[in-house]
Amino acid sequence: MKRNILIHPDPRLKKVCAPVADLSDELRQLADDMLETMYDAPGIGLAAPQIGVLERLIVLDCVKEEGETPRPLVMFNPEVIASSDETNVYEEGCLSIPEQFAEVTRPKVVDVTWMDRDGNLRQETFDGLWATCVQHEIDHLNGKLFIDYLKPLKRQMITRKMQKLKRERARA
Ligand code: K1U
Ligand code: ZN
């Protein structure tokens, strides 16, 4: 089932999410709903707080080329355990901040651990867009948005645009 994506500003997008203790069918269904919501948007990632669930769960699939095999990843309790000194700049977007993009600098390569949807502990090194996206999604679990990396004036400008968008959507 497709879920509704929260738009910034929303207090739920500023919260630190709780670790997932035990996997359940309900959590697996939530992960499936998040993948459906992400592909429908369309997006390359989605974090549980973006649909109002304050638990440490993210999904991502950075395979963008049509005809390439999709690679959906479901990560419970993801953690960056090592980051490269080398950085990468990427023009990021966010499904909770529609149609706004800005350059963000992050470590180019990260090692991430997580629990997959079968309860297995996994570890993988991510580079390029995958590294950018997994860091963006883990930030969501800590109440941080990509606009928090921008200068205050630019952040305020984007926030005001989003307030206007929300007012317009509420009236429609
Ligand atoms: O977390 C989110 O809001 C999803 C976000 C992830 C992201 C994008 C860019 C850099 C880092 C993280 C998005 O998916 S925004 C949409 C987007 O980037 C995209 C949509 C369709 C095709 C390709 C990209
Ligand atoms: Zn986002």
- Domains: count for the chain: 1
Longest dimension (CA), the chain: 47
Please report whether residue 42 resides in a domain. yes
Please report whether residue 5 resides in a domain. no
The residues assigned a catalytic role are 137
Residue-averaged pLDDT of the chain: 98
Count of residues for the chain?
172
Cβ-contact 162, 146 below 8 angstroms = no
Q: State pLDDT tens for residues 30-76.
A: 999 999 999 999 999 999 999 999 999 999 999 988 899 999 999 99
Please report whether residue 116 resides in a domain. yes
- Which ligand is located closest to the Cα atom of residue 41? 1
Evaluate: CB of 44 within 6 angstroms of ligand 1. yes
pLDDT at 87: 98
Closest CA to 75 of 129, 163, 140, 15: 140
Please report whether residue 50 resides in a domain. yes
- Residue 164 sits in which domain range? 11-171
Sign of the Cα torsion 103, 105, 109, 115 reads: negative
Please report whether residue 19 resides in a domain. yes
pLDDT at 106: 98
| Position in ligand 1 atom list of the atom nearest CA 97 | 3
Please report whether residue 4 resides in a domain. no
pLDDT at 113: 99
d(CA 78, CA 87): 20
CATH code of residue 89 = 3.90.45.10
C-alpha of residue 168 to centroid of ligand 1, in Å: 23
C-alpha of residue 44 to centroid of ligand 2, in Å: 10
Please report whether residue 120 resides in a domain. yes
Q: Give the closest residue (by CA) to ligand 1 atom 22.
A: 43
